[in-house]
Amino acid sequence: MSADVNISGQHHRFFELKVARCVARELSKALFLLCSIVALAPAQAQQVAHIGVAGCAGSTCHGSNVAFAGSNVVQNEFRIWNEQDPHARAYKTLLTAESQAIARKLGIGDAHTDDLCLGCHADNVSAEFRGDDFQIADGVGCEVCHGGAGDYLDIHADGDHQANLDAGLYPTEQPEARARMCVSCHVGNQTDRRITHQIMGAGHPRLSFELNTFSTIQPAHYRVDEDYIERKGNISELQMWAVGQLVAAEQMLDNVEAFPRSGLFPEFVHMDCLGCHQAMSKITWSKNPLTQQKPGALRYNDSHLMMSYQIALAVAPSAASQLLKNIRVFLNSAESIQSPAATIGGLRRSMATLKSALQQQPITSTQGFELLKALLDIGLASSHRDYASAEQSAMAINSVLKVMDADGMLSANRSRLTGGLDSIYAGLNDAEHYRPKEFLAGLRKIKSAIN
């Protein structure tokens, strides 16, 4: 149906590894309501023995060479993970010259033995939770995401999903739980997965994350088919996107509260990297009507917060202006932040209101059009001067178009849409040479295509 439309962005460098699988999913409301109740904190999930990847990868378990025909699950999960998934090489990355250089600059020992790196690049549970087959060199293995298998190993082939969850299987299919788990590494958390500007300064790549896009890019070792939907529900990609934004924004606020400063100064890792790291000859400042910050002001990375505002406009319009007010209070406190709780409190309440609205009324593909319009209009109004917001916008627009297309709701001129996306990605190709003009031209093209 959509073979002629490249709304997957897969030929763009921006989405280098990001191979798209267009899986249209619809969410049952009831299922989503469960999310907030059963979401386990990753820390909790760790208090069970981790058997190690080898323990999961038996040939009659998840280590088959080919997908099993008559089974609910593909059973070649190990092979897909091992051969295609970047998580399988996360530990090996710590052995590279690049990692050694980072470690040297930080003055720590070896990257592959230091907790600072292992927290996100491996399954770094403490010694008493490591089973016989456990190997730290497995990197980000099965149990990092699915929870320690010690207590569910014996029962989980029986197919009673709820029983598995009760025994400690992590609910990775549920948007909020999945988001919390992924962002703990991809945004960083306030405890064992903490990323700082010092680590960045030593050469660590900038982190950026969007739940739906990254879920799509991670090589799928599961099939969302009939029996999957029966067991786990039908989860909409738009809901995945929206919940991912709120959870990433909340994680960022948690981090700001936990480590607001580094010495005398605010901790720069919470800020927009390119707010500081760009050539002085490149004068790009213009007033952003949304954030209303002054020229020269220190800027938080507000990309997830701004997306949250756009979600509010689409799903909880009555709460949107209060949210924006609270975002502004927070953003304008970047330099003076002494007691983050004072400026974050109101924002947290607004975010909680929005989250419960989204839980009661999951975002549907019929709202996709409103959302798309908000993304385009706000993008154009704020001029997306900063790369991080533009990047989030691009992934959002991509996700919305993909869902609308899969649901047969995209009547717009396809070649104009593709042209618009091409222009957006061309603008974003290189974070250090962001080209807002091309990005904005892409937004305009898409806007004219859907009008």
Residue ranges binding ligand HEC (CB under 6 A): 17, 53, 56, 62, 72-73, 77-78, 81, 86-87, 89-90, 93-94, 96, 98-99, 102-103, 106, 111, 116-117, 119-121, 140-142, 144-146, 172-173, 178, 181-182, 184-186, 188, 193, 195, 197, 199-201, 203-207, 214-215, 217-218, 221-222, 228, 232, 268-269, 271, 273, 275-277, 298
The least CB distance from residue 402 to ligand HEC, in Å, is 16
CA 433/CA 391 separation, integer angstroms: 13
| Residue 338 CB, nearest approach to ligand HEC (Å) | 17
Minimum distance from CB of 203 to ligand HEC (Å)?
6
Sign (positive or negative) of CA dihedral 328, 267, 281, 279: negative
Q: Where are the alpha helices (DSSP H) in 107-169?
A: 115-121, 142-146, 161-166
Whole-angstrom distance, CA of residue 276 vs CA of residue 299: 9
Residue 291 C-alpha from the chain's centroid: 23
Nearest approach, Cβ of 124 to ligand HEC (angstroms)? 8
In 145-268, the DSSP E strands lie at 261-262, 265-266
Pairing mode, strands 265-266 and 261-262: antiparallel
**Which one, 191 or 286, has the nearer CB to ligand HEC?**
191
Q: Which CB, 110 or 366, lies closer to ligand HEC?
A: 110
The residue behind tokens 């990254």 is 214
**What is the phi-psi region of residue 146: left when phi exceeds 0, alpha when psi lies from -120 to 50, beta otherwise?**
alpha
The angle subtended at Cα 213 by Cα 212 and Cα 214, nearest 5°, is 95
**47 is written with which tokens?**
């208090």
Q: Name the 3-class secondary structure at 261.
A: strand
Q: Using the minimum distance from each CB to ligand HEC, give the nearer residue, 214 or 369.
A: 214
Q: Which residues contact 217 (CB under 8 A, 6 or more apart)?
A: 15, 17, 18, 19
Of the pair 19, 449, the CB lying nearest ligand HEC is at: 19
* Closer of 299 and 447 to ligand HEC (Cβ): 299
280 burial (CB, 10 Å; 0-12 / 13-18 / 19+) is exposed
Q: For residues 10 and 15, what is the distance between their CA atoms, to the nearest angstrom?
A: 6
Minimum Å gap between C-beta 39 and ligand HEC is 13
Residue number, 195 or 412, with CB nearest to ligand HEC: 195
Please state the closest distance from residue 150 (CB atom) to ligand HEC, in A. 15
Query: Which one-letter DSSP state was computed for residue 294?
Result: P
Closer to ligand HEC at the Cβ: 129 or 214? 214
What the block records as the tokens of 45 is 């999930």
Among the listed residues 428, 440, 424, 434, the one whose alpha carbon sits nearest the alpha carbon of residue 7: 424
> Least distance (Å) from ligand HEC to the CB of residue 319?
28
In whole angstroms, the minimum distance from the beta carbon of 285 to ligand HEC comes to: 15
Backbone phi, psi, residue 189, to 5°: -115, -175
Output the DSSP codes for 42-83: HHHHTSS-B--HHHH--TTTT--SS--SSSSS-S-HHHHHHH
Give the shortest CB-118-to-ligand HEC separation in angstroms: 8
CB nearer to ligand HEC: give 222 or 369: 222
Nearer to ligand HEC, 178 or 445 (CB): 178
Residue 326 contacts residue 200 (beta carbons within 8 Å): no
Q: Which is nearer to ligand HEC, 197 or 445 (CB)?
A: 197
Residue 386 or 445: which CB sits closer to ligand HEC?
386
CB of residue 341 to ligand HEC, shortest distance in Å: 22
- State in angstroms the smallest separation of the CB of 97 from ligand HEC: 9
What distance lies between CA 160 and its chain's CA centroid?
28
Per the DSSP assignment, residues forming a β-bridge with 262 are 265
